Amino acid sequence: MRMPMVALVGRPNVGKSTLFNRIIGQRLAVVDDRPGTTRDRLHATAEWNGVYFTVVDTGGIEVLPERVVRGEKPGPERPLAEDSAAFIPLIRAQAEHAIAEADVVVFLTDASAGLTPADREVADILRRSQKPVFLAANKAESPRVREMAVEFYELGLGEVHPISALHGYGVADLLDKVVQALPTWEAEPEDESVKLAIVGRPNVGKSSLLNQLLGEERAIVSPVPGTTRDAIDTRMEWEGTPITLIDTAGIRRRGRVQPGVERYSVLRALRAIQRSDVTLLMIDATEGVTAQDAHIASFILEERCGVVVLVNKWDLVPKKRQTLQEYTAHVREALKFMDYVPVLFISAKTGEGVDRVIPQALEVHQARHYRIPTGELNRLIRDAVARHAPPPKAGRVLKIYYATQAEVAPPTFVFSVNDPELVHFTYERYLENRIREYYPFTGVPLRLVFRQRKSDRP
């Protein structure tokens, strides 16, 4: 049985993301004063009074005036985030999907703004859903605004709960009622799914790949760069293996990251890399490997998670006899510090090559957890030293006494030596390459640690 789900819904800019962050106890959702900031559904696990549940932040359910339907821009009386008007129907669809999945719905309104036609429309949608609904009148920081909240009883959805998501007022009382309405649930085992983060520059096709892998419109897809702002977790299963796909915001070059929403979106994308087992680095085949692609690859390398490079939009590249080999060489040269990663050529739009993505990622994940027996590792290192001795440094020579694999994910090898200062980076790379010649670490960064033997310490 899945964990009970609570959906936060309402018109834009009533404070859903602020309440979401308050409930889960961290700033996971991007919060901004402009309507339309939250577009996709965002899930997180929350706990209250010992009850665990999934809370879902959604984009605002926006009334569509005729002028918007006709393609006109929203006026100053109802401003949207400047690049969000085109997403109104998609935001609404995502919110309605969340309502259909939820066990309980928290309907947020803005007590300071009073009852609006948009609130009435959301109320109509919720009545049709026949789900338990808790009406929360947000932004009720002052006694005067709390008194104003009584007008929301007109919606006929039962008790009105004045709250302040920003300051925490009334949230505890609201959650007491919410968890009482949730179905009973037995805790599931710890999440052992393989975490796959889809990362890359804006507009390389990350959300399209997610939808192609899932076979549904789980994320909003748009050709406009910057559509995805939050890192979104989606569960799926592949031939019996549980997988969590993490779609992320596009990572722009540092100088081009705008302050505010975009900056926090990029930080969340980087956090998604940190918690992933394997990162799917997407590259636009029509543009080639850019400096920013290499920059993102360096972030991945720094976190030492597994990597698969996906060259997307391959259907748009004119084909000739040597195209595949030449492009692979181009990727290898541009990402020469990650020459161990597999490269797949795909089209997230047509589905070409997408069936190989998950199997390749799982192969990388398995390699991340491979352990070399100590005896085999030491025979390999002795052979490597015999073939190519360490170069002397200031008249002294590096001596390797012993090696062991201390950890997996990432594979970490600890070398007992006479002096770590004698290890030149080229020799460290030589040892890594020798290990890779014999053992399956495809797509996996290795960590080599050199420690001075106790008897050699001064």
Q: What is the mean pLDDT of residues 278-294?
A: 94
More confident residue, 348 or 222: 348
Rounding to the nearest 10 degrees, give the CA dihedral for residues 120, 124, 129, 133. 30
Rounded CA-CA distance 264/270 in Å is 10
**Residue 33's pLDDT band (cuts 50, 70, 90):** very low
**Residue 24's pLDDT band (cuts 50, 70, 90):** confident
User: How far apart are the two ends of the chain, measured CA to CA in Å?
Assistant: 60
The tens digit of pLDDT for each residue in 87-138 reads 455 555 556 766 788 899 999 999 999 998 888 888 888 888 888 999 999 9
Q: What pLDDT sits at residue 184?
A: 82
More confident residue, 227 or 431: 431
Rounded CA-CA distance 332/335 in Å is 5
Give the residue among 104, 112, 116 at the shortest CA–CA distance from 158: 104
Give the residue among 364, 221, 344 at the shortest CA–CA distance from 285: 344
Q: Which of 248-252, 318-322, 346-350 reaches the highest mean pLDDT?
A: 346-350
- 3-state secondary structure labels for all residues of 194-241: EEEEEEECCCCCHHHHHHHHHCCCCCCCCCCCCCCCCCEEEEEEECCE
Q: What is the mean pLDDT of residues 19-46?
A: 64
More confident residue, 85 or 454: 454
Q: What pLDDT sits at residue 344?
A: 97
User: H helices of 369-442, where?
Assistant: 374-387, 425-438
Q: What is the mean pLDDT of residues 384-390?
A: 95
Rounded CA-CA distance 220/299 in Å is 26
List Cβ neighbours of 143 (8 Å cut-off, separation of 6 or more).
Answer: none
Helix%, strand%, coil% for the chain, nearest 5: 40, 20, 40
Q: What pLDDT sits at residue 172?
A: 94
Query: b/e map of 356-379 (b: 16 or more CB within 10 Å)?
Result: ebbebbbbbbebbeeebeeeebbe
Query: Max alpha carbon distance in the chain (Å)?
Result: 88
Q: What is the mean pLDDT of residues 12-31?
A: 78
Q: What pLDDT sits at residue 101?
A: 80
Between helices 171-181 and 16-24, what is the axis angle to 10°?
Answer: 80
Phi then psi dihedrals of residue 378, to 5 deg: -70, -35
Average pLDDT over the chain reads 82
Rounded CA-CA distance 357/282 in Å is 11
Contact 46, 179 (CB under 8 A): no
Rounded CA-CA distance 245/312 in Å is 17
Name the percent of the chain lying above pLDDT 90.
51
The structure tokens listed for 61 are 């359910």
3-state secondary structure of 348: coil
Q: What pLDDT sits at residue 76?
A: 45
Contact 138, 109 (CB under 8 A): yes
Q: What pLDDT sits at residue 74?
A: 46
The tens digit of pLDDT for each residue in 171-219 reads 999 999 999 999 887 655 667 889 999 999 888 999 899 989 988 665 5
Q: What pLDDT sits at residue 79?
A: 47
Q: What is the mean pLDDT of residues 377-387?
A: 96
Rounded CA-CA distance 111/300 in Å is 44
Which residue segments constitute the domains of the chain, with CATH numbers given? 5-181 (3.40.50.300), 194-368 (3.40.50.300), 374-456 (3.30.300.20)
Q: What pLDDT sits at residue 58?
A: 78
More confident residue, 18 or 223: 18
**Residue 159's pLDDT band (cuts 50, 70, 90):** very high
